[in-house]
Amino acid sequence: MGFLQIQLTNLLAILVITASSKSSLSATPPNFPIALKPNCTDHCGNISIPYPFGTTEECYQSHDFFVICNQTFDQPKVFFWNSSVEITEIKLDGQLRVLSFIAHDCYNRNGTSASYSGTLLQMPSFLTVNNTANKFTVIGCDTDGFIVGQWLDREYATGCIAMCSAEDDLTEGSCKGLGCCQISIPKQVWQVNLSLTSFHKYHSNVWNFDRCSYAFLVEEIAFSFSPENLTNLRNVENLPVVLDWAIGNGTCVEAQMNASSYACKSVNSKCYKPDNGYGYRCSCLEGYQGNPYLIDGCQDVNECEDPHLNNCIDIKHCVNTIGSFHCHGESLAFKLAAEISLGIIVLLLVAWWLHLGLKRRRQTKMRQMFFLQNGGMLLQEKISRRERSSNTTTIFSELELQNATNNFDNIMIIGKGGFGIVYKGFLPDNRIVAIKKSKEVDPNQIEQFINEVIILSQINHRNVVKLLGCCLETQVPLLVYEFINNGTLFEHIHNKTKACLFSWEMRLKIATETANVLAYLHSAASTPIIHRDVKSANILLDQTLTAKVSDFGASRLVPLDQTQLFTLVHGTWGYLDPEYMQTNQLTEKSDVYSFGAVLVELLTGKKVLSFDRPEEERGLVNLFLSVMKEDRLFEILEENVTREGNKKQLMKVAMVAKSCLHVKGNERPSMKEVATELEGLMLREKHPWVPTGHDEEAKGFLLDGEFSGAINVGEDNSTSIGFDSAKNHVMLLTMGGGR
């Protein structure tokens, strides 16, 4: 019996040694020389330059990897051939380290600034910024830093604010807003710019210890905040940033179709897709190491020379093979170890089966708990009262929606926004639906949420996306809508291909349909509804380009005895009502302002907020009101709009937009008046022979009152405007300014 115990102890020790050896294999790969092309420079100073990078044409894989070794410095430096970006390290695993400058904004007591900001990294197209190793960092006591650029196939913008009022506020190593803030950047970023703003040109409280603000992108492990950074960063020119590189912009399958250009040249190499960026990379197979981009670049590793790379009990029993190894003379020990392992596997399988049973029971209880917590009983009660209605809300189970979306696979995601994620789903009855998973629902407002679901499901308007039902078995309720398959109004305005086919007549029709929906929500619905996030991205279009207003995640029901609500400010920059921002008082006129911004977007084809425009023109609303004031409207209208639209009609639509954009809400028209005005303009365009009688004049004051008296169109097509709603208009976002 004692002998058997000793043998079992030895076998368990073998298993432990095996596990630790495998762990060491992944943690500490052996040091293996990197193969280089013949007659090629492999170093510039102390910086290694492995192929596919090279300093001459015969030494690099493609011109993308052409680097220059500049010998004019005290120590040689490496640069990309067409860039001032300095490279400090190149690694074959697809990463390289470069130096990026520090943007600064310094002020004298008289408010004079000495600043530098702009392009942080001007990178070749095959490079992307590593999204896990780097952080965007802002340092200062009244500093607002924005990082903007290209992400995937569209623009992105993000930033953070650093503030402090005394030097004692600052903490060594802490970068959470007091004097220093840091944020991550998304994947696939290939262009980086920044804008640095100070709130005050002179701040007596912080002048003695903070005269400058800084913003930079930096490798996270290379920078730790210190209060001294407020002064010593003036003497630092740049900091390290980690970039990801890859071959080309196609997939492995596409690259392998062209053998001559395929970069994975070694027989013992493989191709893989990087986690960040486009294109592909190469690596040596397991058991090989070296440079996979060169023929015979991946060589066999002798695992028997390193005890960390083999699990043999005695190194004498290790036999190296091509790409692997084996141990001889240990058959009895491994046989017993295998039997013990089999017993352990059986026990694990039994434990796994029991775990699954417990997990199913827990999931069932959780679903029941969430159903009750999310107001399921209340919703069922309200639905039972409406059984005779043809628009009864459907309560879906979580399993139904999991099956419809392939368990909420990322491939099924069709949109993301501030309030959640939208998935495309296929129901068993062949209906295609859009399933919205909200980020959060206030548990104290569950009854209001249920009322909202009931009311939205009863809205029967051809220009509102139909709410089909919901699922309450998840932590956050899921809403199920009809699926609209022709994209958003935002895409049709700003996508160059779609915009060319987007006529003025169609734009005016969509504007009129949207205005009618908002008028309906404000005044015709059983309980008035304020949308609270009207923007072109929330107006969907079907195959016939009919408008469908969507995304009621931020909407609020207005009790019949109230005209305004006090809420936290929600909305989107560029469309947000300035009066609502200042007072937190939400009214129907907040939707009117947002609709006015959409109308300007339709007229001009420009984005409501763009960092590509000059600083004073970044906000479209302010630009529009400025040109209206200066009688230069037709200078900013979209080309199709100018070419196809009736000039007098365009001017009237512009006046509608201008009226909607009054700073004071009580000076804006109602959505019903706006809809009436736009319908009248459409009718006159289609049927110019229809006389304008007294009844039509009384229909709405907009067309024949405020606007008609304010516009004078002469025979030379010149226009004059009789009033100025731009006066004292609030700038929603100002990127300039100083301390």
In SS3 terms, 119-166 reads as: EEECCCCCEEECCCCEEEEEECCEEEEEEEEEECCEEEEEEEEEECCC
Task: Lowest mean pLDDT of 365-379, 414-428, 508-522, 551-565, name the range.
Answer: 551-565
The SS3 call for residue 336 is helix
- Domain layout of the chain by residue ranges: 31-90, 95-245, 376-415+421-482, 571-721
Of 686, 678, 520, 707, the C-alpha closest to 598 is 678
Output helix, strand, coil percentages for the chain, rounded to the nearest 5.
35, 25, 40
Q: Any known ligand binding at 652? A: no
Share of the chain above pLDDT 90, in %: 36
Task: Lowest mean pLDDT of 115-129, 216-230, 246-260, 605-619, name the range.
Answer: 115-129
CA angle 79–84–86, rounded 5-degree value: 45
Of 565, 427, 563, 408, the C-alpha closest to 483 is 427
Task: Lowest mean pLDDT of 487-501, 555-569, 672-686, name the range.
Answer: 555-569
CA dist 11 and 494 (Å) reads 68
715 pLDDT more than 60: no
700 compared with 125, residue with greater pLDDT: 125
Count of CA atoms in the C-beta half-sphere (13 A) of 250: 10
Tell me what the pLDDT averaged over the chain comes to: 79
- pLDDT tens-place string over residues 528-540: 888 888 999 999 9
- pLDDT tens-place string over residues 385-408: 655 555 567 888 888 999 999 999
Q: Mean pLDDT across the stretch 586-609?
A: 94
Count of CA atoms in the C-beta half-sphere (13 A) of 119: 10
- pLDDT tens-place string over residues 283-339: 999 999 999 999 989 999 988 888 788 777 667 778 888 888 888 765 445 657 777
Task: Give the model's confidence band at 93: pLDDT under 50 very low, under 70 low, under 90 confident, else very high.
Answer: very high
The answer to whether 475 and 465 are in contact (CB under 8 A) is no
Task: Give the model's confidence band at 525: pLDDT under 50 very low, under 70 low, under 90 confident, else very high.
Answer: confident
383 compared with 478, residue with greater pLDDT: 478
CA dist 630 and 403 (Å) reads 58
722 pLDDT more than 80: no
**How many other C-beta atoms are found inside a 10 Å radius of the C-beta of residue 285?**
15
The pLDDT assigned to 568 comes to 67
Task: Give the model's confidence band at 441: pLDDT under 50 very low, under 70 low, under 90 confident, else very high.
Answer: low
The answer to whether 484 and 540 are in contact (CB under 8 A) is yes
The answer to whether 471 and 477 are in contact (CB under 8 A) is yes
668 compared with 613, residue with greater pLDDT: 668
Task: Give the model's confidence band at 109: pLDDT under 50 very low, under 70 low, under 90 confident, else very high.
Answer: low
- Say which CATH superfamily domain 571-721 falls into: Transferase(Phosphotransferase) domain 1 (1.10.510.10)
Joined tokens for residue 242: 């980690």
Instruction: Quote the strand ranges of 50-102, DSSP E.
Output: 67-70, 77-80, 86-90, 95-101
**How many other C-beta atoms are found inside a 10 Å radius of the C-beta of residue 494?**
18
Task: Give the model's confidence band at 701: pLDDT under 50 very low, under 70 low, under 90 confident, else very high.
Answer: very low
Q: Mean pLDDT across the stretch 677-682?
A: 92
Handedness of CA 538, 541, 545, 549 (dihedral sign): negative
Q: Mean pLDDT across the stretch 672-699?
A: 68
The pLDDT assigned to 382 comes to 65
The pLDDT assigned to 324 comes to 86
The pLDDT assigned to 505 comes to 92
264 compared with 114, residue with greater pLDDT: 264
The pLDDT assigned to 723 comes to 31
Provide the β-strand partners of residue 195. Answer: 146
- pLDDT tens-place string over residues 50-66: 999 999 988 998 888 99
591 pLDDT more than 90: yes
Domains 376-415+421-482 and 571-721 share a fold: no
The pLDDT assigned to 384 comes to 65
Joined tokens for residue 204: 């007596």
The pLDDT assigned to 10 comes to 40
Task: Give the model's confidence band at 203: pLDDT under 50 very low, under 70 low, under 90 confident, else very high.
Answer: low
Q: Judging by DSSP bridges, how do beta strands 43-44 and 134-139 pair with one another?
A: unpaired
**How many other C-beta atoms are found inside a 10 Å radius of the C-beta of residue 259?**
8
Task: Lowest mean pLDDT of 100-104, 473-477, 489-493, name the range.
Answer: 473-477
The CATH topology of domain 376-415+421-482 is Phosphorylase Kinase; domain 1 (3.30.200)
Of 456, 436, 580, the C-alpha closest to 517 is 456
Q: Which residues are catalytic?
A: 533
In SS3 terms, 457-493 reads as: HHCCCCCECCEEEEECCCCCCEEEEECCCCCEHHHHH
The pLDDT assigned to 730 comes to 32
- pLDDT tens-place string over residues 331-384: 445 657 777 888 899 999 988 998 888 887 887 777 777 777 776 676 776 666
CA angle 721–726–730, rounded 5-degree value: 170
Task: Give the model's confidence band at 624: pLDDT under 50 very low, under 70 low, under 90 confident, else very high.
Answer: very high
- pLDDT tens-place string over residues 556-573: 767 655 666 666 677 788
The pLDDT assigned to 119 comes to 55
Q: Mean pLDDT across the stretch 3-22?
A: 37
The pLDDT assigned to 111 comes to 59
